[in-house]
Amino acid sequence: MLRDLCQILGICVITIAFNSTSVSNIDASLAYNCDLFESFIMIKRANGMRYQDGWVGAENLMMRYFDGDNSENRKLPFGCPIVTKIDPSEGPACESQLTFAAALPNKWTQVPQPRTDELTLSQWPKLHVYARPFLGPNNQETFRQESLNFADSLRTIGLRYQTEPYFWVIPDPPNEPAGNLQVWFLVEEP
pLDDT tens for 86-125 read 998 776 556 788 999 988 876 656 789 999 999 999 887 7
**Does residue 26 belong to any structural domain of this protein?**
no
Q: What is the CATH number of the domain that holds 104?
A: 3.20.80.10
42 and 121 in contact (C-beta within 8 Å)?
Answer: yes
Q: How many domains does the chain have?
A: 1
**Does residue 67 belong to any structural domain of this protein?**
yes
pLDDT tens for 16-75 read 433 334 444 444 223 232 334 445 788 899 887 788 889 889 989 999 999 999 999 999
pLDDT tens for 146-158 read 999 999 999 999 9
**Does residue 92 belong to any structural domain of this protein?**
yes
**Does residue 17 belong to any structural domain of this protein?**
no
Which residues constitute the domain of residue 64? 38-125+132-187
**Does residue 70 belong to any structural domain of this protein?**
yes
pTM confidence score: 0.78
**Does residue 157 belong to any structural domain of this protein?**
yes
Helix (H) or strand (E) holding 9: helix 2-9
**Does residue 3 belong to any structural domain of this protein?**
no
Confidence tier at 143 by pLDDT (50, 70, 90)? very high
